[in-house]
Amino acid sequence: MNHTHQYHSIDFTQYTGLVEHALSEDLGGEVDLQNDITSSWTLERDTPAQAHIVARTEGVIAGLELAQVAFTRLDSQIECSSAVRDGQRVEAGHVVMRIKGPARALLCGERTALNFLQRLSGVATQTRRFVDAIAETSARITDTRKTTPGWRHLQKWAVIQGGGVNHRIGLYDAVLIKENHAAACGGVAEAVRRVRTAAAQRGIDPPIFVEAETIQEVMSLTALDPDRIMLDNMSDELLLQSVEYIRAKSPSIVIEATGGYTVETVVTAAHTGVDLISIGSLTHSAPALDLSMLFE
């Protein structure tokens, strides 16, 4: 059972504060067009302009509405028209958005809008690379909590746009017993027992995830019947053995492989039969997609 939230849609108006902060960084504090000294000193306030945002490289777009929030915060007269949809793959040279309004406001909002759009599109593009790499298997690509502070929900939404699925969102929506938890409370079995007791007392049923690094740990953890076993830094051969054992003993357990996979190494891991492969680089080091705004 999937207990976590999947960000197929998101309310970008919840991020007006984040956009406001980004704009204030660029404008030296107060969000005022006068603080863009280049544009305010070279252009009349009402000089009209039309522009478009274009992809310089191939990728997957994510964050169009957030870019629009950045522009319209500066001037409500700005009109933004998306030429593509979030989650759409584009080629180099593809126009992704058209913007119309006062030139000073367009120029003032350009970098902030692109910063959001480029980084979220980068996450979606990175995700799609991994998804495409294992398309011939039944495995799915999932994210981690290795996100930019303050951007977690946005980045996890971008993972969905790239074709991935979300792991637990934070510390609150799933139990993940790591080696340090086990060491501090007397073992994984004791940790699972305590979790189930506490959850029952509260009348809730969060999913329980546990980590395994050896086949011996896999055997002992399978007996505990957790919701998910995460196979950490295992060789492909050990992954295959673990999958076969878990499937035979408890087919309902979700099996996840984790441990620094690249686009090249993820393929053989996916062919072992795991359900999920978690990739930290989807969010912690995805390169920004190259996008530019050009006046027409």
Express each pLDDT in 261-272 by its tens digit: 999 999 999 999
Pick the CATH number of 12-131+286-295 from 1.10.357.10, 2.10.210.10, 3.40.630.30, 3.90.1170.20: 3.90.1170.20
Query: Which residue out of 100, 152, 178, 196 is catalytically annotated?
Result: 178
What's the pLDDT tens digit per position in 195-249? 999 999 999 999 999 999 999 999 999 999 999 999 999 999 999 999 999 999 9
Catalytic annotation present for 178: yes
What's the pLDDT tens digit per position in 48-72? 999 999 999 999 999 999 999 999 9
- Asked if residue 3 has pLDDT above 90, the reply is no
Domain boundaries, the chain: 12-131+286-295, 134-284
Q: List strand residue ranges (DSSP E) for the chain, in order.
A: 48-55, 59-60, 79-82, 89-90, 95-102, 140-142, 175-177, 208-212, 228-232, 254-258, 276-278, 291-295
Q: Could you tell me the fold of the domain covering 134-284?
A: TIM Barrel (3.20.20)
Query: Which residue out of 211, 217, 227, 256 is catalytically annotated?
Result: 211
Q: Model's pTM, two decimal places? A: 0.94
Query: Which residue out of 98, 100, 111, 196 is catalytically annotated?
Result: 111
| Dist CA 66 CA 153 (whole Å) | 13
Catalytic annotation present for 146: yes
Q: Which range among 5-9, 27-31, 155-159 shows the weakest confidence by mean pLDDT?
A: 5-9
Catalytic annotation present for 275: no
Q: First-to-last CA distance in the chain?
A: 51
pLDDT of amino acid 45: 86
